Chain A
Amino acid sequence: DTEVTQTPKHLVMGMTNKKSLKCEQHMGHRAMYWYKQKAKKPPELMFVYSYEKLSINESVPSRFSPECPNSSLLNLHLHALQPEDSALYLCASSQVGTSGRGEQFFGPGTRLTVL
């Protein structure tokens, strides 16, 4: 299974809502990533987990809260978002120890709209 799945595919939320994005992989990868992509811009790294521990936080606002409950799952909890947070959120995974030379496997993304 070389697939990374993400749910939901689309999400519309108000600024006072709390919601979560989910990502799952069963490739045995121990590095997992969240990226944000706005229209006509490249994907931007938000967080990296390595062995279920937060390894990189690219100065992301605290209204985004990542969680890696086990080696297959990655969540992104959303609270009090702003309309400018509307974007495509991509999850990816890779092997650990390949230090940037390893292929990252991406999910199809969650299209988030904040009203």
Chain B
Amino acid sequence: ILNVEQSPQSLHVQEGDSTNFTCSFPSSNFYALHWYRWETAKSPEALFVMTLNGDEKKKGRISATLNTKEGYSYLYIKGSQPEDSATYLCAFNSGGSNYKLTFGKGTLLTVNP
């Protein structure tokens, strides 16, 4: 059984704050790590797919880093806005079974105006 852990479970920040959260995953048999953003009543939206140790990816104010040797990824949001409020999910693929993603429980971010 693969364990994908996300912390914290939930987070409240003020508008303008920068924040980050963590995804940890098995460091063996790494193939890919996905980050998704999921707003209530909408579809989960892919943010990043990360495959190489040391990868850093950026989309606007959101960025992510990857450490496959120690099995963690950080997601950073700079200058949080209320519209960033969502659940951020990470998902791990070990390559052992094509297409199968194992998801963490997510971090629920609430940005207060």
Contact = CB atoms under 8 A, between A and B. Distances in A.
Interface string A93-108: 0100001111111111
B51 A101 contact: yes
B32 A103 contact: no
Nearest to A97: B98
Contacts, number: 65
Contacts of B43: 4, 105-109
A40 B46 contact: no
Nearest to B44: A106
B34 A103 contact: yes
A84 to B, nearest CB: 19
B43 to A, nearest CB: 5
B46 A104 contact: yes
B101 interface: yes
Counting contact residues on chain A (CB < 8 A from B), the size range is 20 to 34
Interface in B79-108: 89, 93-95, 97-106
A99 B95 contact: yes
Contact of B97 (A43, A56, A94, A107): A56
Contacts of A106: 36, 43-45
Given A42-B89, A104-B46, A106-B44, A99 B31 contact: yes
Contacts of A4: 43
Given A56-B99, A100-B93, A102-B49, 15 more contacts: A40-B105, A43-B89, A43-B103, A48-B100, A90-B44, A94-B99, A99-B31, A99-B98, A100-B31, A104-B46, A105-B43, A105-B46, A107-B43, A108-B43, A109-B43
